Structure formats: C-alpha cells, structure tokens
Structure 1
C-alpha cells in the first residue's frame, strides 16, 4: 500500500470487520460508525451490523446494531447522522437507529416511481444530510436520487432520475453551495445536482483520459477539497476547489465509502474486501499555511494549530 500526503505514522487500524462499506464520523468527532454488509451486498440475510468506535478510534461495540431478532438489518451501506439519529441505507429501505442505544426508530421502505423504474428493485447505496431539513438517498439500480424531508414525517420525493447518473453511489452535500455531489459506479463520473434537481456533469472520463473506474465514496474536508475513492483502481483522489486532481493514496485494497472527519481533519477509509478500516490524518493544503511556516502535527489533525503570529506593531488585545 502506498499513501502520499497522508500521515501513516498516526494511522489507526480497525480489524475484525465484515465487508465494511461506509465509515462515518459524528460531526463533533466524538464517535465513529462503520457499516458492515457481512455477506452479499444484495442479500436479505438479516446479518448486517454497524460497528461503533470511540473518539480515539477504538472499537466500543463491534456489533452496536446487529440484524436478527427484533432488529432488521440486511446489508447496511451508506450512513448519515441527523442530531442523535443514525440513518442507514439498507437494500430498498432507509432505516434509522438511536445513536446512543442502537434501537431502531424508523423503517422507511422506498419504491421507485414508474418513471424512474428500470424494472429493477430499489438499491439504496448512500445517504447524505444537508444539515437543515433534507436527506438525499442514492438508488444505484434505477439511476435515481430521492429526497427525504426529515421535518415532514420523512416524506419522500424523487429528486432526479437521469441515466447520466450511471449507477449513483456515494453522495455528499457541498459545504459551500449546498448542492448534492454524486459519484458514479458504472462510468466513474462526478456529478453535481442542485436542490431543485438540475444535474451537471463535473468530471467524466474521456476516450483517452479514463481517470476513474468505479467510484464509491465522496466527501469534503474543512477547506472545501473534495475526496473520492475508486474502489476498483484502489485510489483516493483529492480535487481542490480550482478543480485540480491529486492522487493522495494508491494500491489500496478496495477503498469503499470514505468519510472525512472535518473537526479532527481525518480521512476514514473502509476496505471492503480486506475486512478492515483505517483512520489517517490529512495534510493541510499549502494555501492554509503562511509562507515559510513549518509543518506541525496540526497539519495532520492531531493537535490544535499554533496561533497566528501578530503583525509587527500590532497591539495585543
């Protein structure tokens, strides 16, 4: 495995997982959750589970939520936290669990409207929260994204159905403009969708420039840089706000739905076929540091950044 611009010395490993799909942080950086498919990704076997980690990345409960008995959880994939509720995409159903106890609090089956159906069952892959009212859920089989109104009894509407989505997988909400970013599994595209459902292709492969293959996850850091994982090519890319691409990690064993802990500046990577996951510090972008300022551990998210030097002649308050 080769990692560049990620602090390997401080990497934190999580073992004992079973086909981990998504790695999510609490917005406050106090807890982490990993969804485990634990079998075939489309099997209704009710043996999926969700692992809970503490602030240090140590496993608190390997099977914090576990399918079986009173809990139904088949093949959990993407997740989102809304207040104290953990939403999980599970085949054709959006499920929700109490973040503290793991008890189920919502079961919301989704059905593809006739105009969106491709004759295939709904196949939910990821969930993203806009920070206000709406959840967005990707349906890879039907090239659709649904909007769920959390404040209105979880009412569901079809936001967009477009073949250009090409198997939408990971979702994220852009921290600057609130648009939805979707990555394509089938054709390796990055797309932007407005809250009204208008779709724009941000990045697509050309005949001579097949940069991406099967994109699985997408998220943003605190500076607005976008990160995408290519599960088949084993790479993680960073796209800066001015649309420059850099490979920050390669030769990875099946990186799935990555997450970014913006509070602690960490990248969270589940390795689906390696039954493991990893937490790494992200390097601060060059423009975030003043010229000549030496790197510190703060550039990797592990200690608070040093105070900015006072300009000459400035009066301290």
Structure 2
C-alpha cells in the first residue's frame, strides 16, 4: 500500500510540473474592422422642366421652403429683367415658379433676419420674405460676376468669380474681405464662423488673420459647397459632378456630364440628408438622398 501511494504521489507531482511548464492556451482575439461606407447619392425626385435655367437652390431649415433662382435665359450676365426666384415643395412640386420676378440673372442665395439675399450679376439684392418684394438693391463697386452667397450671425458673404473677391454685407454696408481667389465661386460658413470657399486651387478655409489654408486640392473649380461636419464636405462642379470630400480623400458621387445635365449651386436639407441639384439648362431641380 505504501509503495502504491508513493508512485501515485510521484505521478501527481509530475502532472503538476508538466502542466506548469506546458504553454498556456490563450483565447484567439478577432478584431472587428468597421465597414467603410462609400458616400453615395440616390435620386428621389425631379421637378417638371419649367424652372428656366435654374442656377441655385436654397433650403430654409426654419420653414422647409425650397427657393430656386432662375436665370430665365442663356446668358448668365444678361441684364434682361427676366430672372426670378421660384419656390418648390419638399416632394418636388413647383409651388410658384416666379415667386419674385424682375431680376436679371440671379444666382446664389442666403437667408438672414427675415430677408433673402441674392446675387444678380453686379448687384446684391435683398428680398423681404414676408411680402415677397424686393426691398433693397446695392450696386457692388467693381463687380463683374457675383455668384454664391452664405450667411452667418447677421453677416452675409458673397463671391465674385471674375474678380476673385469675397465680399461681406452687414448693417446696410458692403466690404471686401478677401482678394486674389482665382475663379472663386462656392462659399459656406461653419457654425463657428469659419468661412470656406471653392476656387481654382480647390477647397480652402479662411483663417482668423485673413490668410487661407487649402483643405483639398483635388476638387477644383467648384460651384456649390455644403458643410457636413466632422471635416466632411459636398461640392458640386457646374459641368455635372458632385463630390464628397475632406482633407485627405474625395469621392465622385454623381456624374451627369454624359447626359449634359449640369450640377450648379446645390442646396441641402441637413435633417433629412437631401441634396437639391439645380440642373441649369435642363430647367429642373433634382433631389438626391445622401448616404455617407
């Protein structure tokens, strides 16, 4: 009995030694890699083709109204008095194609303090939204091709594509805040007041000291600009392209050049992630769901 016990104890000791020396089994850790989603646009609707030479779309977050600027002719610099601002519904119905008439070649729009501000070749136009009447016009000194507009906390910013200038309107006065921006067009202002623009060099922002920093040099010659947040943007090119861009990448989401449908100064419904596209010579507005 003692001998058997001795061997039994020796066997137990050996088992313990081998178990301590043997490699320990570890659980395999599988790291999950998040799927990278490619930004895309899906067509929701198009208006009837009776918004003549529509250049810009503006969505009013406060009321849900969608404004459309109509050049109403072939010449973006023609002073013929045929230009207008129209209104369409959120499902693509034309409510009033000429809500305000008597303009020349209206382009960019922005809303500030109950007024709709519009560029019109060399004039900056103020429309009282409540009465649908033109309440003021300012001749901008030296202006040649006033284009996009953006508003922030009582100031309204607008570009002149031909002169390369950025102007600002506040309290009845217009000043020039930046020059030397080749073919400057699209402009937007972030919630913290940073101004961003699209010109021949690409997408850039203005610093507090008036200098600019280039964010993306690939999306050049842009028309409309949307700030999505988190460093992401949507930019359109008039020829028929809409891009998703940030400081390191860019993705072409829409290309309508083959069907000769332009993509001018786009508008955006942030709550529903809908991009509104003025098709210029196609005379209609198209709405796309943005997925990113």
Task: Identify the residue that residue 202 of structure 1 maps to in structure 2.
Answer: 215
State TM-score, norm by structure 1. 0.73
RMSD: 2.1
**1:61 Cα shift?**
0.5
Summarize the Cα distance change of 1:221–1:201 in structure 2 as closer, same or farther, 3 Å threshold. Answer: closer
**Aligned partner of 1:239 among 238, 241, 245:** 245
Report if aligned partners of 1:220, 1:260 keep a CA contact under 8 Å in 2. Answer: no
**1:129 Cα shift?**
0.4
**1:223 Cα shift?**
5.6
State TM-score, norm by structure 2. 0.79
Note the 1:92-111 alignment, pairs <5 A: 92-111=122-141
Task: Identify the residue that residue 219 of structure 1 maps to in structure 2.
Answer: 226
Matched position secondary structure for 1:256: coil
**Aligned partner of 1:178 among 193, 200, 209:** 193
**1:143 Cα shift?**
0.9
Task: Identify the residue that residue 53 of structure 1 maps to in structure 2.
Answer: 88
Alignment of 1:136 onto 2:157 = yes
**1:144 Cα shift?**
0.5
**Aligned partner of 2:255 among 245, 250, 253:** 250
Task: Identify the residue that residue 280 of structure 1 maps to in structure 2.
Answer: 288
Task: Identify the residue that residue 156 of structure 1 maps to in structure 2.
Answer: 174
**1:37 Cα shift?**
0.9
Task: Identify the residue that residue 21 of structure 1 maps to in structure 2.
Answer: 55
The whole-number CA distance in structure 1 between the counterparts of 2:284 and 2:263 is 10
Q: 5+ residue gaps in structure 2?
A: 1-38
The whole-number CA distance in structure 1 between the counterparts of 2:145 and 2:243 is 26
**Aligned partner of 1:38 among 47, 51, 72:** 72
Q: 5+ residue gaps in structure 1?
A: 68-72, 113-120, 205-210, 286-317
Deviates more, 1:47-56 or 1:191-200: 191-200
Question: Which contiguous aligned blocks of 4+ residues in structure 1 show a shift greater than 6 angstroms?
Answer: none
The whole-number CA distance in structure 1 between the counterparts of 2:96 and 2:254 is 29
Q: 1:120-174: per-residue Cα shift (whole Å, max 9, x none)?
A: x4321111101x121111011111101111xx2x222210112xx1111111112
Matched position secondary structure for 1:122: coil
Return the index of the structure with the highest Cα Rg.
2
The whole-number CA distance in structure 2 between the counterparts of 1:243 and 1:28 is 33
